[in-house]
């Protein structure tokens, strides 16, 4: 069933705080894509125009649907995005209606973490998995949850908001987002990554501590939803090899050994996962219908 659906082309749109990525996906492959820099101080209307124009570049007759992902609160049913991260003018945009009216095909909207998770299920490392978490570590911390091969957004698209959970003196997002490196060490993540690659001892120690905190956060994820697999995405995943060992040290303290035996934690390997994930929203929505 999943294989059949991949014969149709679907467009994925990933709107980030600085970059817009749009692609046409067919047979599990990104056939064509465009990347546009976004001026996040532009008006709502101008950014909508950018999105529409980028979509036009990859649109063709084989396209049967579209998925749209953004780092924001989402009303999944109505396809409305609220307060998109870093784009001040996008306070409440009825993006589903706008895109469906413009292009005449069904459009599915969700947040970036959910797109990431469903993208890994359909196109990435989680194809054989039933229950997984896609954890994005970047400017914020959020997770997408897949239960029994379906995207699980929660009632208000608020599932997987692990960033908000109290942890140590603040919350999980405080310690795991890229801001923390600046706050605590006065160094940017990118710089730290460069230094870690050159085996700089301080950078490695900083990433080790990060791994401990991440491991503790992962235990919370496991206690709440017990996934078979956790895939780490977002900019910070680039440093995965530097914090992986410390992360496992904490995770291995997990109470239920049977879950631990099965658990796999990997960094994303898909380059275009944001766009692929947005496209996967279409397949997830239609798979649901078919499975009833």
Chain positions contacting another protein, by CB under 8 A = 73, 130-131, 145, 147-148, 152-162, 164-167, 216, 219-228, 255-256, 258-259, 262-263
CB neighbours of residue 269 within 10 Å: 11
Residues in contact with 169: Cβ distance below 8 Å, sequence separation at least 6, in sequence order: none
In the complex with another protein, which residue's Cβ is closer, 119 or 163? 163
Give the span between the Cα atoms of 66 and 76, in whole angstroms: 14
In the complex with another protein, which residue's Cβ is closer, 100 or 228? 228
CA distances from 186 to 66, 67, 179, 197, 199 (A): 41, 38, 10, 19, 19
Q: What does the chain come to in residues?
A: 292
Closest contact distance (angstroms) between CB of 165 and another protein is 5
In the complex with another protein, which residue's Cβ is closer, 23 or 142? 142
In the complex with another protein, which residue's Cβ is closer, 42 or 226? 226
* Angle subtended by helix axes 201-225 and 189-197, to nearest 10: 110
In the complex with another protein, which residue's Cβ is closer, 84 or 157? 157
Burial category of 271 from C-beta neighbours within 10 Å (exposed 0-12, middle 13-18, buried 19 and up): exposed
């Amino acid at each position: 069933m999943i294989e059949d659906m991949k014969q149709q082309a679907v467009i994925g749109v990933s709107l980030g705080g600085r970059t817009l990525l749009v692609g046409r996906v067919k047979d599990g492959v990104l056939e064509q894509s465009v990347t546009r820099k976004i001026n996040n101080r532009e008006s709502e209307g101008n950014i909508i125009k950018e999105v529409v124009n980028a979509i036009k570049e990859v649109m063709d007759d084989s396209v049967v649907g579209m998925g749209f992902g953004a780092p924001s609160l989402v009303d999944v049913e109505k396809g409305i995005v609220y307060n998109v991260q870093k784009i001040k003018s996008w306070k409440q945009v009825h993006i589903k209606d706008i895109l469906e009216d413009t292009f005449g095909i069904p459009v599915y909207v969700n947040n970036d973490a959910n797109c990431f998770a469903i993208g890994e299920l359909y196109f990435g490392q989680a194809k054989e998995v039933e229950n997984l978490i896609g954890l994005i570590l970047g400017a914020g911390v959020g997770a997408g949850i897949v239960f029994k091969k379906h995207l699980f957004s929660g009632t208000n698209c608020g599932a997987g908001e692990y960033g908000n959970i109290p942890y140590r003196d603040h919350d999980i997002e405080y310690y795991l987002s890229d801001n923390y490196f600046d706050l605590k060490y006065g160094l940017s993540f990118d710089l730290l990554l460069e230094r870690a690659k050159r085996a700089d001892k301080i950078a490695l120690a900083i990433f080790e501590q990060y791994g401990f905190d991440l491991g503790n956060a992962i235990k919370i994820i496991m206690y709440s939803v017990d996934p078979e697999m956790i895939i780490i995405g977002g900019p910070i995943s680039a440093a995965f090899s530097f914090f992986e060992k410390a992360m496992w040290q904490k995770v291995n303290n997990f109470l239920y050994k049977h879950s631990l035996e099965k658990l796999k934690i990997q960094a994303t390997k898909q380059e275009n996962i944001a766009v692929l994930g947005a496209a996967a929203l279409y397949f997830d929505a239609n798979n649901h219908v078919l499975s009833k």
